[in-house]
Amino acid sequence: MSKLTLDRILHTQGFGTRKRCRDLINSGEMIIAGSVFDDSNTAIETDGLEFTVFDQPWIFRERVYIALHKPANFECSRKPSHHPGVLTILPDQFTLRDVQPVGRLDHDTTGLLLMSDDGAFIHTQSSPKHHVPKVYVATTHDPVTHELIALLLAGVKLHDEPAPLAAETCRMIDENHLEIVLEQGKYHQVKRMLAAAGNHCTALNRSQIGNLKLDELGLAAGEWCYLDAQQLALLKPPFTI
């Protein structure tokens, strides 16, 4: 457990500069256990701390781990260029505490997106060296064939890639849908692999990362949730995709 002053607590949770946080506290905006705390220099334990600011309840979190059901037409960038950024879906506090997407989904790709302010976690989940599998469901322009599946499993050559890239697993769902599992996370990888194999991806959804499944989180498009320790454990090996 650790003690922090109230202004430091609000600052670490993304409520603004230390001065801004002191002003909020000194004006009586911070409530803990039903009581107003208006001395920003008061130090309290942060373990399990719950507080309210602007009538909004918060739980102190040293780091945040978030799952978002990304809708279409949002960019996974802190500086989006053509569409709103995914951070606009979350409360402003997350931008101020430097929450970032873990990897990227194309603006038109939907599904499970992780977000965090934990740099080590972001690196582990993003790096191909850690072999975290991602499961995608692709909608294809042309019918899925056994030959297409075989090509994706054997590996296809992409422009600017030194060696062919292959799916970890790949299976037909129905005539125009296939499930493909990748570990590399290259730029537009699913779409480019399908194009190289002679088909075209018309829609793409990421349904799973590691053993964390979007449908088990119960999130509709545009909804998000904090990940607890049990859910975070699903992102670590061994994987049973």
Q: Which of the residues are catalytic?
A: 106
- A 10 A CB-CB count for 178 gives 25
Paired sense of beta strands 35-36 and 30-32, if any: antiparallel
Question: H or E segment at 157?
Answer: none
60 within 8 A of 68, measured Cβ to Cβ: no
CA 89, 237, 214 angle in degrees (round to 5)? 30
Question: H or E segment at 203?
Answer: strand 201-209
Closest residue by Cα to residue 156 from 169, 166, 168, 146: 166
